[in-house]
Structure 1
């Protein structure tokens, strides 16, 4: 047995030596790999990128609101007198001006009524003049004690009745002349006129609808603002006296080019709708060509609408991470660190950040393509133009 044990000892020593050699080789390989990695990290150049320091500020929004055009000043033209509709002085769809003649309703009957009222007035005036002469004569006779006081009072009463009759006939003549004027139906407002509801030759009565006129210039547009936007807009109006500019736009459709009008906000409601939580607003636009018509869907943009004292980053700087939207924040070693953020509204090429960032932090403001967490950054000044970050 002793002999066999001595014979196996060299093999054990040989195996032990091989194991130690492998361990040393493995350790040498690992330390060499770490050294190479360190050398590679030191050799990697920093990536130049625009960097901005986050600070609170007021920022202009780029927002628009939908609206369907409707004419709040649309007017229905109605007949004011009875008679035969003798003539129509327009073509459906024409642009008419306030005061233009539209229809003629049997004026001869009302001309005769005016002449009759004029004759009645002349007769009443003649009776008044006679009563005036009688009253003057009885006044003289009373002074001479030639007539009784009762005779004078009777003459004076007749004069008063005659004067009242004149006034009554003057009113009748005015009424007859008004009715005569109503036989020439005029446009009460300027705008585009509709098809005629009644054909020439038909009999019309007071209240008969004849046509509709839709004012197109200026164009009044009503729309709804969310509460937050209405409050910001009211604050803006209080800060400056200049009008708030507005743009009315319609997208291109079916070969027609996009169109827009420039105007201004002229009304902002003072109460919030309980059903929609919005505030009503109104803007006025010059529409001389009549290119925008009621019933069209449009969008209203307001100039200078702002959010106050907020944090914002360029839109290009935001990427989508595993936990949602993220930006890259630089640490003290100028290495990029991913930071998940919560976003608010869009303001042109800026995004408002509601949480995730603090004032004073440095944020990558240019295109983060190719940037990974831990990437060394060579900070470049940010030019402030969120649209040109690259």
Structure 2
């Protein structure tokens, strides 16, 4: 049987057409893939300020709890016995040094003074008599009219009379002192407390009568860590103590909607010479002028030392430090100009600066701006560090293509432009 040439030709042609169609489809896929690959834009380098690490000195502001004291506070005591006759001040008022505060009955002490005055006069008369006798016996002895024993006895009587006069005068002084104690005066200036004994009661020494608290200046005692005390001692050796010893006192709870908390500026007056073994702290004291007398002894306050130095440390702007999977990290620009993460150990915070104790070395280039838009491996267009700490930024989800005029549907303006272009094409 002869083969059908027509059928063979059609079969061969169909196969050829099918292969051409498949080849055409494959070609379209490859061309589409090439177009898509060529359409992807490489991420441009990220502009960021870069700081080169070097050791320098950093000033810290340290704050400690403290308590107000008045080291010149005195307790007024009754020093003689007697009935309290009068109180000459208003309780809770300010008194000046020397002001009369109390009067204790004076009559018994005045009588004692008068008696001792009479004893002194009697002793003086006895001294005069003994002196005349001694002079007369001395002349008679020179004339061989009396014996040597009589002359010596006259001299001894004179010495006895003089000793009696000295004793009488001492008793008079003591009586006058006791009489002066019946008037109780203020030993210092300050605010006086309530009276501890009422008028009419018997004062029996030593008897506490009142307390006077000087309010200007005031002293504040506090404890600071041994490291801070060590730094202050270093500063005193290197710098002017006037700047080093500046202290600021703040009263918590005194702030309001229209004003900050009450503050005083003073001077560090004492820095202890030993470390407390149980707390590892050093005791210190500061002095403040309390002209308005608003701060009172016993009040709890906060003490700030605004210039505690840390010498020869590494520090970067705090905004440069982020939290990585393994802890705090910074981005360092490597030799290829790319960002790489570097885990670091953090020290103290000095205002806008973060002290780094481990992880950095001199010469490292740390990224200090645009941190939220940078990832490890990104190419960095390094800009000089201006020396000013950048303001914190919320850059979550940002990338360089999200500009207002970005193409390809990225960015607000880009999406609006693409939509407009689509409408124009449809029309």
Smaller-chain TM-score bracket: 0.7 to 0.9
Please say which structure displays the higher CA radius of gyration: 2
| Offset, 1:72 | 3.6
Conserved? CA contact 1:48–1:377, under 8 Å: yes
Matches within 5 A, 1:153-172: 153-172=152-171
Q: Which runs of 5+ in 1 are unaligned?
A: 1-9
1:40 pairs with 2:59: no
| Offset, 1:354 | 0.7
| Offset, 1:254 | 7.1
3-state SS in 1 of match to 2:386: coil
Q: Which runs of 5+ in 2 are unaligned?
A: 1-11, 394-427
3-state SS in 1 of match to 2:141: helix
**RMSD of the TM alignment (CA)?**
2.9
1:193 pairs with 2:192: yes
| Deviation larger for 364-373 or 346-355 | 364-373
Q: Does the C-alpha gap of structure 1 residues 214 and 27 become closer, same or farther in structure 2, counting only changes over 3 Å?
A: farther
3-state SS in 1 of match to 2:381: strand
Q: How many residues align?
A: 378
| Offset, 1:383 | 3.0
Instruction: Specify the alignment match of 2:415 in structure 1.
Output: none
| Deviation larger for 327-336 or 156-165 | 327-336
| TM-score relative to the length of structure 2 | 0.80
1:88 pairs with 2:87: yes
Q: Does the C-alpha gap of structure 1 residues 27 and 101 become closer, same or farther in structure 2, counting only changes over 3 Å?
A: farther
3-state SS in 1 of match to 2:57: strand
Instruction: Specify the alignment match of 1:5 in structure 2.
Output: none
For residues 26 and 111 of structure 1, the distance between their equivalents in structure 2, rounded to whole angstroms, comes to 128
1:279 pairs with 2:278: no
Conserved? CA contact 2:368–2:390, under 8 Å: no
1:334 pairs with 2:337: yes
3-state SS in 2 of match to 1:386: coil
Q: Does the C-alpha gap of structure 1 residues 258 and 13 become closer, same or farther in structure 2, counting only changes over 3 Å?
A: same
Conserved? CA contact 2:69–2:218, under 8 Å: no
Matches within 5 A, 1:1-390: 35-37=38-40, 39-41=41-43, 44=44, 46-243=45-242, 244-253=245-254, 255=256, 257-366=260-369, 368-386=371-389
Conserved? CA contact 1:221–1:284, under 8 Å: yes
Conserved? CA contact 1:251–1:257, under 8 Å: no
For residues 16 and 225 of structure 2, the distance between their equivalents in structure 1, rounded to whole angstroms, comes to 86
| Offset, 1:352 | 0.9
Residues 134-179 of structure 1, C-alpha deviation per residue, up to 9 Å, x if partnerless? 1111111111111111111111111111111111111111111111
3-state SS in 2 of match to 1:359: coil
Residues 2-27 of structure 1, C-alpha deviation per residue, up to 9 Å, x if partnerless? xxxxxxxx9x9999999999998877
For residues 368 and 62 of structure 2, the distance between their equivalents in structure 1, rounded to whole angstroms, comes to 23
Conserved? CA contact 2:255–2:262, under 8 Å: no
For residues 356 and 32 of structure 1, the distance between their equivalents in structure 2, rounded to whole angstroms, comes to 45
Q: Does the C-alpha gap of structure 1 residues 143 and 361 become closer, same or farther in structure 2, counting only changes over 3 Å?
A: same
For residues 143 and 367 of structure 1, the distance between their equivalents in structure 2, rounded to whole angstroms, comes to 119
Instruction: Specify the alignment match of 2:408 in structure 1.
Output: none
For residues 118 and 31 of structure 1, the distance between their equivalents in structure 2, rounded to whole angstroms, comes to 129
Q: Does the C-alpha gap of structure 1 residues 161 and 326 become closer, same or farther in structure 2, counting only changes over 3 Å?
A: same
